[in-house]
Each structure stands twice: as structure tokens, then as C-alpha cells.
């Protein structure tokens, strides 16, 4: 699935920082403050859906939602360098309103979010998680978006990467804990088994580090979810370009502690947002409506 950003994304006062492809805030600092994005929601509590929220969560009144704020336009820091904004933050806030809950979106490194759900540190993870069978062993998901993986390279002198097979002999930068890390690592073995040079997989704590590796020449190619790769190219001032077409379109899922009772209210709240147009409005705001879905599911992994 190809996701192309057709308009300049609103609310991106950190554009100068994005051009350098570096974080405007430390992704090791857990920060909060709600969504803070440009998309506004007029949602109100739906009593029938709010009644489905487990008592232990309803009594708190607030959902703590973890996101790795290095993955624009899905989740990233606003101009204040600490507020998490983006598609996931806006959608989390709208879902909370339908369920009668406040939402606190906090920054966390991507690979720490699922363990944080298991330990009770976070109530939800909304950070562009691909819903996979492997991840479903430890968390539940409610699907809400479709995205593939894109390759991006330097616009001048970058290699032609049209498929995973083309990664043989190249240095590839990826974010830790992502499906891109899994794919590049698996491809390394395939290249070597075919008698070709392997893939030098460079793993970074967040996407900013992967982007910087490409910018500095430490990596030949970087990989990210298609809307994120498109955003990086758009904001690079001509430094980067997409190479080839996206592959492996799969659903994003809202990550939920296994069997804690939140799957149904979240699914119903998301269906409400789809029905009343709020969901599409949020995706339109961030220029990623190509990834919209119409039939969210609980644990809808394809592989």
C-alpha cells in the first residue's frame, strides 16, 4: 500500500528539526500532556460504550497511552519539545472521549511499550504497532489503520532498493523492536544462504537515530512504515527519496494488556469514530487517509 502525503502537515512547528531528522526532545524522557495536535474532536461520551469499560479503569478516569514520539506523522513531539502529537495521539484522545475517559499520552521508547503494558505502567500502546501473531501472544490488539514498509535512500547517489532482496550487501538502519528490524535481519540470512553479501543491520533506539544514520552516510538505506518514510522524505528538503514501492501492507493495532477487558469498549469506540466521521477527519489532518480501514477487528493479525 502506498501512502503519499498530499499536503503539508499541520502543527509541525518542529520542521527545522525534522529537516535534520533529529528529535526535538529526548525519547528517553517520558512526557505527557495529551494529544496537543491540530485535529480537534467534538466527541462526547457514549454511555453504552462507556459502560463497557472495566471498573478498574473507569474508576481511574484516565488512560495512560504510550507512544514513541520519534515517528512523525503518527507520533512525535510538538513545538514545545515535550507534548506528544500526531495521528495516534489525536485518535487516542477521541477514543477516550467516547469512553468517558481522559487520555494522557506519554513518550516511551518503542521496545519498552509492550513490556510496560504487561507491568501495568501503561494502559494502552498506540505507537504504529503492526498487529502480528507473535505480538498477539502477549497483548491484544484492536486494528485501526493499514500501512506497508517503505525503503528510503539519499536522493543523490542512493542505491536502487526495490525489494528486500536488494538489501544484500547494504547497510540498513532500522528502529529497535520493529517489523523492519525483523525483516532486515531475516533478509541477512537469506542473502548469505544464497551466497550473496549479507545485510549490515544497524539497529537504533528510535527512528530519529535510524534517520540520522542515513543522513550521515553510516547507512545506505533506511526502512520505516510507509506514512513515516513518506514524511521523512517530504521534510528532508530533497535530501532523501523513496526507493521502490511499499511492501507488506498490514494492520496497525492499539496494544492492550492481554485479556483486561478493554478490547470491546475500544473496538466499539473506534467504530463510533468511523461512523461519525471523526476517524477520517483525524487521518485527513495528518495527510494519511490512504491507510483508513472500515472494519476494525480484535486481534486481526495477518501473519
- Write out the H or E segment, with its range, that includes residue 191: helix 179-193
Between CA 284 and CA 82 the distance in angstroms is: 24
Of the candidate ranges 15-19, 56-60, 249-253, 258-262, the one whose mean pLDDT is the lowest: 15-19
Q: How far apart are CA 91 and CA 285, in angstroms?
A: 11
pLDDT over 70 at 23, yes or no? no
Decide if pLDDT at 122 tops 80.
Answer: yes
Q: Tens digits of per-residue pLDDT, 263-288?
A: 999 999 999 999 999 999 999 999 99
Residue 40 has pLDDT above 50, yes or no: no
Same domain, 255 and 233: no
**Do 159 and 21 sit in the same domain of this protein?**
no
- Percent of the chain scoring above 90 in pLDDT: 85
Tell me the pTM.
0.81
Averaged pLDDT, 114-140: 97
Determine, yes or no, domain membership for 7: no
State how far the Cα of 44 lies from the Cα of 125, in Å rounded to an integer: 22
Using an 8 Å Cβ cutoff, are 122 and 65 in contact?
yes
**DSSP designation for 8:** P
Is residue 30 pLDDT above 80, yes or no?
no
**8 pLDDT higher than 80:** no
The whole domain housing 216 covers 149-249
Same domain, 21 and 128: yes
Mean predicted confidence (pLDDT) in 289-295: 95
pLDDT for 42: 59
pLDDT for residue 78? 97
Whether 10 is in a domain gets the answer no
Give 48: exposed, middle or buried? Use CB within 10 Å, 0-12, 13-18, 19+: exposed
CA distance 267 to 229: 28
- What value does the mean pLDDT take over residues 76-91? 97
Q: Phi/psi at 65 (nearest 5 deg)?
A: -110, 125
Residue 232 located in a structural domain: yes
Whether residue 219 lies inside any domain: the answer is yes
| pLDDT of res. 12 | 34
Name the DSSP letter for residue 220: S
Sorting pLDDT into bands at 50, 70 and 90, what band is 29?
Answer: very low
Higher pLDDT, 221 or 11: 221
pLDDT band, residue 76 (cuts 50/70/90): very high
CA distance 189 to 172: 14
Q: What is the per-residue pLDDT across 97-109, written as a single tens digit (0 to 9) for each?
A: 999 999 999 999 9
User: What mean pLDDT value characterizes the chain?
Assistant: 88
pLDDT tops 50 at residue 32: no
Do 231 and 263 reside in the same domain of the chain? no
> Do 45 and 167 share a domain, yes or no?
no
> Mapping DSSP to helix (H, G, I), strand (E, B) and coil, where does residue 43 land?
coil
Q: What is the pLDDT of residue 302?
A: 86
CATH assignment at residue 175: 3.40.190.10
Q: Where are the beta strands (DSSP E) in the chain?
A: 62-67, 70-71, 75-77, 84-85, 102-107, 124-125, 139-154, 171-175, 200-204, 221-225, 240-257
Amino acid at each position: 500500500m502506498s501512502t503519499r502525503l498530499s499536503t503539508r502537515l499541520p502543527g509541525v512547528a518542529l520542521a527545522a528539526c525534522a529537516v535534520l531528522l533529529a528529535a526535538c526532545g529526548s525519547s528517553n524522557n517520558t512526557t505527557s500532556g495529551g494529544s496537543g495536535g491540530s485535529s480537534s474532536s467534538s466527541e462526547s461520551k457514549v454511555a453504552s460504550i462507556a459502560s463497557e469499560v472495566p471498573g478498574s479503569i473507569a474508576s481511574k478516569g484516565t488512560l495512560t497511552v504510550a507512544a514513541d514520539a520519534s515517528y512523525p506523522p503518527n507520533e512525535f513531539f510538538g513545538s514545545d519539545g515535550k507534548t506528544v502529537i500526531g495521528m495516534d495521539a489525536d485518535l487516542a484522545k477521541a477514543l477516550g472521549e467516547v469512553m468517558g475517559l481522559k487520555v494522557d499520552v506519554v513518550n516511551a521508547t518503542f521496545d519498552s511499550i509492550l513490556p510496560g503494558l504487561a507491568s501495568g505502567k501503561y494502559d494502552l500502546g498506540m505507537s504504529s504497532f503492526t498487529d502480528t501473531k507473535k505480538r498477539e501472544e502477549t497483548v491484544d490488539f484492536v486494528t485501526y489503520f493499514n500501512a506497508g514498509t517503505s525503503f528510503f535512500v539519499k536522493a543523490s547517489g542512493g542505491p536502487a532498493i526495490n525489494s528486500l532482496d536488494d538489501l544484500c550487501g547494504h547497510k540498513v538502519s532500522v528502529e529497535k523492536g520493529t517489523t523492519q528490524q525483523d525483516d532486515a535481519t531475516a533478509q541477512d540470512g537469506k542473502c548469505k544462504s544464497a551466497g550473496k553479501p549479507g545485510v549490515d543491520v544497524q539497529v537504533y533506539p528510535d527512528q530519529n537515530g535510524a534517520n540520522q544514520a542515513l543522513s550521515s552516510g553510516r547507512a545506505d538505506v533506511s526502512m520505516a512504515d510507509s506514512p513515516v518514510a513518506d514524511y521523512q522524505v517530504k521534510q528532508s528538503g530533497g535530501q532523501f527519496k523513496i526507493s521502490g514501492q511499499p511492501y507488506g501492507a498490514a494492520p496497525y493495532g492499539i496494544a492492550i494488556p492481554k485479556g483486561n477487558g478493554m478490547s470491546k469498549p475500544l473496538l466499539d469506540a473506534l467504530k463510533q469514530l468511523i461512523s461519525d466521521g471523526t476517524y477520517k477527519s483525524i487521518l485527513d489532518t495528518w495527510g494519511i487517509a490512504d491507510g483508513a480501514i472500515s472494519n476494525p477487528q480484535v486481534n486481526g493479525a495477518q501473519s
